[in-house]
Structure 1
Amino acid sequence: MFDIRGAIFALLLVSGEALSDDVWFQQQDFAGALRILDETRRLEPQKSAEALRVWKDATWKAAVAAYDAAKARSDEDMAVPSHNVSEACRNATFRYQEDLLHGKMYALQMFDAAGKLPSGFFEGNLNWWGLYSQCTNITAKGYGENINFDAKYWTATIGPVIAKPLLYLRVGVCVPDTCSRNDVIEWLDGSILMRLLLREGITVVDAKSLTVWTTLPRTTLAVICIVSIVVALMIAGTLYDVFKPNHISRPIWKVHQPISNEYTNGAVTETTPLINDTSVTRQAEKVIVPSAQERPLCKLLLAFSVRTNTRKLLSTRESPDSLGCLHGIRFLSMTWVILGHTFGFVIDYLDNPLFGLNIMKRFSFEPILNGFLSVDSFFFLSGVLMAYLMLLQLDKYRREGRRFPYWLLYVHRYWRLTPVYAFVLMLWVWVYPYIMTGPAATTAADPGCLKNWWYNFLYINNFLDMVTGKECMGWTWYLANDMQFFVISVPIIWITFRYFLVGMITQVVLLLASFGATIGLAIHYNLQPTMSSAGQNPDAMNLYYQKPYCRIGPYLVGTMLGYLLYRTRGQVRMHKAVALLGWLAATGICMGVVYGLYNHLTQGVVLSRPVAILYLTVHRTAWGVGLAWVVFACVNGYGGIINTILSWKAWIPLSRLTYCAYLVHPMVIFIVYQDQMEANIHYSDILLAYYFVGHVVFSYAVAYIVSMMAEAPMRHLEKLVLKQDT
């Protein structure tokens, strides 16, 4: 997998001397070093140790002598390449060279801050960052050396050093700030490094420097103003909530959750599809809701009260119709998403990725390789709650002889999701790039968001090209799918409520159509059984992974289960042997889906096309079937210890934050991995577990802040607009 000869070339070419000294100074030593490297290049791969010894023992003086002797014996042109570098950069660089030879501290620190040959090259370490902060802290004023330049950090991208897989060498370069991007590229392009890499067919050279913002764009300033206004409202609302007269309240942890169906199962975010039951809400919220006589401005302030919103968030009171086990499934599924992204996003920042490949061959690593199933858990949960809660409301409205306001379902759903979504997108585009520092960071806004942000608010962004970066906030493809499923499920559930057989046939037809579409795509585009499979179509993310007609299976399983739960109301009784068989079957299905491709994913076993297509087509739906049994058994009293764990009251507040956590957690991971990146991350079980736990904690902490700033106030304001109690 790893081209040893290519690795040796890169190893030798980008040594400490070549990269930090002669690469930057026009000296005849270049040619001699090139000659040494050319001789080393001809060694067989088996002699890599000898190649390293040759390079280690070589001195620049010997290299020059060897070059001169070779040139005397040869008629070929071995001239040192010329550099088209600006005069200001050349003068500053020569001054830096002279000061370095005289041991001046600023020059020594610039030399020290530049990326050099690290340990772990043969483990795939191709990110040689150096020390970003040390380089950027070097200024003429700070050191008083009578120089007219500061140090500037550049990240040079060279390669691909290895063609299969496509790997680039990224090197931190610390040079005078009078050198432009073109100067950096020209210096590198004429160096030993590039002369030999060009012989290997490597032609890509680029450099970037992180922009230091002295002034912020107007859009960013506008976002800061908006956030400041929201914070001011939160402070004012909280102070009013605390000091207003005749306020009867209990400690936060003792105040109960409203028991309206809207709050059933804590589903007050992306999975809340129902209209508020105001009659029950008024009765249940007497303790925590202000008097109806309060002025609209006071109600507006209370919508931003951190005290009131936190009280509701931490409440663990449930409705009699709630499905308690869904809290645990929701939170654990969210942590599974974060776990998969922790390992997935870290690949670019590892100093031992080849060792990481060995870890990925462990049997215990299969849940991470198959972590894509965590999203199917959310599709399943959405289907269950959508069907179950809507059917309860339809039944209630029918008994009361009232007309069900279907249009309000869509208004409610859009209102609950979109303002928070817009708030996070605003931070992602106009704030996030300007708070990032470090060699791996970027100050460019998400290019997909600049042109295609409106696709997100129409919830059709999953039809954009994710691979080429046309999709805004690429991880939000899930929200588009979920909204599309919601739109079509409202009439389907109504049909099922009125005409059971017709509704079920409709859902089965949709499921079979999904299977057919997946099979057709798999055959036509040679799709592999999982996204982690070797040889997977590079466009599989667009063709299959984020398309609703391929992902609706678990959602339909959820809607069918939701109808079953609505009809049975937890009153199903079965023999213990039947329950045991159900658990064994569900366990076998889920274990087979997660671990069934172990040999395929880790040992490279090639599946026959029929088996591969069958797995690709049904494994997500099969995962939903396994979860359906877990929920059904827990609701009907056959869950045992599993139900005890999943229904633990502590999951309730956390489950309410999963929507916000889903929106913000990629930003959290990028900040941890990119911000202030001074060295690569070493792949080890303990360290990666530390990162994972930190990501979960940090993601939920940020999710709480976003919930207080956007989600909870919008929930209150929705009720004010609809003239309902908050």
Structure 2
Amino acid sequence: MLAPALSILILFLSSVCGTGLESIPFRFYEELGNGNGTSVQCGNDVKSLLDGLKNLDRWALEMADSTAKIPSGILRGNLNQFGDFDECLGVNGNNLIGQYCLVAIQLKQNPFDNDIHAYHQVKNNLTDLGHRLPKFSTIYWGVCVPSSCKPSDIASAVEAATFGVHDLEVLVENDMCRVKRTESKPSNQFDWVRSVLAFLIMISFMVGQGALTCSEEIDPDLERRAHLALRIARVVRNSFSPLKNLRALITPPSKNSFKSLDGVRALNMIALLICHMFMAKMFLPYLNKTEMSKNMSKPWLIIGRIAYLYTDSFLIISGLLAANTLCRSSPIKSIISRYVRLTATLGIVMLICSKYLPDMNDGPMWNMVVTRHAELCYKSWWRNLLYIQNWFGFENMCLTHTHQLAIDFQLYLLAIPLVYLLRKSKTVATAIIASCMALSTILRYQAVKTNNLATVVYFGSNVSQLNRTFDLTYTLPTHRATVYLMGLLVGYWMHQRGRLNLNKSQVRTAWLVAIACGMLAAFGPYRLTDKDYLYNSTHLALFNAAAPILWSVFVLWTIVATDNKSAGWFGALLCWRPFVTLSKISYAVYLIQYPVFFYFVGSARGASLNSITAMFDVGQMLLVGALSVVLTLAVDMPFQKIGKYVSDGHYEKIKLY
């Protein structure tokens, strides 16, 4: 048994002396140990490594073995090679500890550029921040070196090892090198975050138990005379009641208005969830990444690139509900209730993502997509709690997808005076709202046209362009106000009147117009899926200006027609009972999906075969759903009730959603 094993090791070591392309990973060690541009300690440790390889020392073999090698299938996009992350971190011998580094390499000129880089679905520079947008132009290569070597030592050695092979740039960032984790926190250090969470869980169990065993009926006169602490205890007990919240989660609302709202919200939530999942999956290395890009160039798959419109649907719904709420209750009370409900769930998710998620796992890309984001949350959490995070840049945002919450909250504040004007003078208010909508549309067009932006990801779009798009149009309430105000106007009309006086022929005509608007908005930019698409700022500017309006016409007509029993089978589908539950967990789904998706991206160990089933990961979607149900029952619903109590000053049977 020993002879075959030695033969394999000899073949393995013989590649060190090779002179071809396959010897690059081993020439890297020679360059790292020769002392040119390398720290003294690193050079000495690498020389010990090379001696260990010649002596067939296990620790040395593990270090060399865990470094990535030239693979097969390069022309199919199989160029990102992570090596063996866990084997590297387990190296410990001859007073040397293994250090894993993920090297970023960018080829300057390459005759097989499209094949290697999967047609550059998203181009990038080497220094572009990649914690939320995938990089197709960068090659990631895992190397295992002694812990004494610095990132600059590794970058210099890679450049020297590849000299003459190709013109390239190399970057090794400090946080992309790591050694095996050890317990660094002293045992006597007070963990206030965990203590607060434990206290909240204890209170939840206590009040939950009380809600199960105590009667809800209390004499109204006795309740009014009760001490404030007793009234608060009753509110907390009822708010955290597991049975009541579970019943509310699966029970349709008793109101008859906005019958299709749950269906519209649920369908757009699912569409957005799939879009975000596909985007996260594009971070991963694949054996056939080029084939993946070819498959995504089909025209009908434009529906996976228009997440912009799916988020607009939520703004439309918010406008509808804002008009309905502001016509029935005090603006101050509604703001307080809204803030308490939204902020409690948001705060819990931010806390977990910044404090605990970074320590839950590890992997080659973990620091890139998880730890960096956690550090952003440590620095800028307060912006999210004030709902102003969208004004500080996409790259500096904690939970980047929560820009939608900030836009929604800011537009809600704008809706307060507008609804007041509508109640005083419909003509003046309508003119002002129409002017705001027109101005917002002009701003969207001008931003894309002037700054060469792209609200739809096309083949060849680049990370810096997409970041500028987020900062200059996508995350600005002034640019997203059109659809919200359209929803506001329709919501006010439905509250005041809400009935259609159309015959069957007129209803059919309205449906044809609405469907045409929706199809034009969704499939208008189908050319952007073409691998050979050439950027046209006018085309994308028109889409950015017109598509939200066309999409809003379709969504709003669907809601109005369903409420007036003029939507046929489609209206019946939107009123399907399971959509009620999906709609009620949609807020939690929106917050949780990115942390879950990037947990799996960061912990991925190597390349896999891309397929439809690999991209459409049912397991991850079920996990998002399960966590969202827990978050909704434990935080979202209770704090919605508490918010109503804080704003109204008394507790009553609150109808959720």
Identify the TM-score tier after normalising by the shorter chain. 0.7 to 0.9
Distance in structure 1 (CA, Å) of the matches to 2:346 and 2:317 = 20
Match of 1:373 among 300, 304, 309: 309
- TM-score of the two chains, using structure 2 as the length reference: 0.82
Query: Which letter maps to 1:386?
Result: A
- TM-score of the two chains, using structure 1 as the length reference: 0.75
Counterparts of 1:639-718 in structure 2 under 5 Å? 639-675=567-603, 677-689=604-616, 691=617, 693-718=618-643
Distance in structure 2 (CA, Å) of the matches to 1:13 and 1:638 = 75
Q: Is the 8 A contact 1:438 1:674 kept in 2?
A: yes
Distance in structure 2 (CA, Å) of the matches to 1:687 and 1:131 = 22
Q: Is the 8 A contact 1:123 1:354 kept in 2?
A: yes
Query: Which letter maps to 2:29?
Result: W
Name the structure 1 match of 2:270: 335
Match of 1:465 among 388, 393, 396: 393
- Which stretch shows the higher mean deviation, 155-164 or 700-709? 155-164
Query: Which letter maps to 1:333?
Result: N
Name the structure 1 match of 2:559: 631
Distance in structure 1 (CA, Å) of the matches to 2:579 and 2:164 = 58
Name the structure 1 match of 2:177: 209
Change (3 A) 1:295 1:474: closer
Counterparts of 1:285-304 in structure 2 under 5 Å? 296-297=232-233, 299-304=235-240
With a CA cutoff of 8 Å and minimum separation of 6, indicate the structure with the bigger relative contact order: 2
Note if 1:24 corresponds to 2:24. Answer: no
Distance in structure 2 (CA, Å) of the matches to 1:608 and 1:497 = 44
Shift of 1:609: 6.1
Name the structure 1 match of 2:8: none
Q: Is the 8 A contact 1:379 1:555 kept in 2?
A: yes
Query: Which letter maps to 2:638?
Result: P
Distance in structure 1 (CA, Å) of the matches to 2:553 and 2:403 = 23
Q: Is the 8 A contact 2:69 2:81 kept in 1?
A: yes
- Which stretch shows the higher mean deviation, 124-133 or 700-709? 700-709
CA RMSD, aligned part only? 3.3
Change (3 A) 1:338 1:120: farther
Q: Is the 8 A contact 1:370 1:594 kept in 2?
A: yes
Q: Alpha-carbon deviations, 1:642-670, whole Å to 9, x = none?
A: 11211111111221111121112110110
Q: Is the 8 A contact 2:301 2:529 kept in 1?
A: no
Change (3 A) 1:671 1:478: same
Shift of 1:373: 1.0
- Which stretch shows the higher mean deviation, 129-138 or 634-643? 129-138
Q: Alpha-carbon deviations, 1:203-238, whole Å to 9, x = none?
A: 545463236251349999322222222222222233
Q: Is the 8 A contact 2:97 2:146 kept in 1?
A: yes
Match of 1:153 among 90, 97, 100: 100
Q: Alpha-carbon deviations, 1:246-270, whole Å to 9, x = none?
A: 579xxxxxxxxxxxxxxxxxxxxxx
Note if 1:597 corresponds to 2:525. Answer: yes
Q: Is the 8 A contact 1:210 1:441 kept in 2?
A: no
Match of 2:210 among 236, 240, 244: 240
Change (3 A) 1:445 1:517: closer
Query: Which letter maps to 1:231?
Result: I
SS of aligned partner of 1:23: helix
Query: Which letter maps to 2:406?
Result: A
Query: Which letter maps to 2:402?
Result: T
Shift of 1:606: 5.5
Distance in structure 2 (CA, Å) of the matches to 1:478 and 1:664 = 14
Distance in structure 1 (CA, Å) of the matches to 2:428 and 2:496 = 17
Change (3 A) 1:120 1:611: same
Q: Is the 8 A contact 1:234 1:306 kept in 2?
A: no
Name the structure 2 match of 1:576: 504
Shift of 1:310: 2.4
Match of 1:433 among 358, 370, 374: 358
Q: Alpha-carbon deviations, 1:554-610, whole Å to 9, x = none?
A: 1122112212322344x4353222222222221111111111222244165568765
Name the structure 2 match of 1:54: none
Name the structure 2 match of 1:136: 89
Distance in structure 2 (CA, Å) of the matches to 1:295 and 1:529 = 50
Shift of 1:245: 4.7
Query: Which letter maps to 2:585?
Result: L
Note if 1:192 corresponds to 2:161. Answer: yes
Name the structure 2 match of 1:309: 245
Name the structure 1 match of 2:445: 519
Distance in structure 1 (CA, Å) of the matches to 2:255 and 2:173 = 62
Q: Is the 8 A contact 1:380 1:558 kept in 2?
A: yes
Gaps of 5+ in 1: 1-11, 28-79, 141-146, 249-281, 283-291, 394-403
Aligned residues: 594
Name the structure 2 match of 1:415: 340
SS of aligned partner of 1:154: strand
Distance in structure 2 (CA, Å) of the matches to 1:120 and 1:621 = 45
SS of aligned partner of 1:349: coil
Gaps of 5+ in 2: 1-17, 111-119, 125-136, 221-227
Identical-pair percentage? 21
Counterparts of 1:526-565 in structure 2 under 5 Å? 526-527=452-453, 530-532=456-458, 537-538=465-466, 539-565=468-494
Query: Which letter maps to 2:271?
Result: W
Change (3 A) 1:222 1:115: farther
Query: Which letter maps to 1:192?
Result: A
Query: Which letter maps to 1:698?
Result: L
Change (3 A) 1:433 1:603: closer
Q: Is the 8 A contact 2:338 2:643 kept in 1?
A: no
Q: Alpha-carbon deviations, 1:65-114, whole Å to 9, x = none?
A: xxxxxxxxxxxxxxx97434455544443444344344444444333322
Q: Alpha-carbon deviations, 1:107-135, whole Å to 9, x = none?
A: 44333322112233213333210121232
Query: Which letter maps to 1:215?
Result: S
Name the structure 1 match of 2:117: none
Q: Is the 8 A contact 1:554 1:620 kept in 2?
A: yes
Q: Is the 8 A contact 1:210 1:437 kept in 2?
A: no
SS of aligned partner of 1:717: helix
Query: Which letter maps to 1:17?
Result: S
Distance in structure 1 (CA, Å) of the matches to 2:252 and 2:210 = 26
Name the structure 1 match of 2:322: 386
SS of aligned partner of 1:126: coil
Q: Is the 8 A contact 1:185 1:206 kept in 2?
A: no
SS of aligned partner of 2:169: coil
Change (3 A) 1:296 1:413: closer
Counterparts of 1:8-157 in structure 2 under 5 Å? 15-19=21-25, 21-25=26-30, 82-86=35-39, 88-140=41-93, 147-157=94-104
Query: Which letter maps to 2:167?
Result: E
Q: Is the 8 A contact 1:447 1:470 kept in 2?
A: no
Distance in structure 2 (CA, Å) of the matches to 1:89 and 1:245 = 68
Q: Is the 8 A contact 1:159 1:205 kept in 2?
A: no
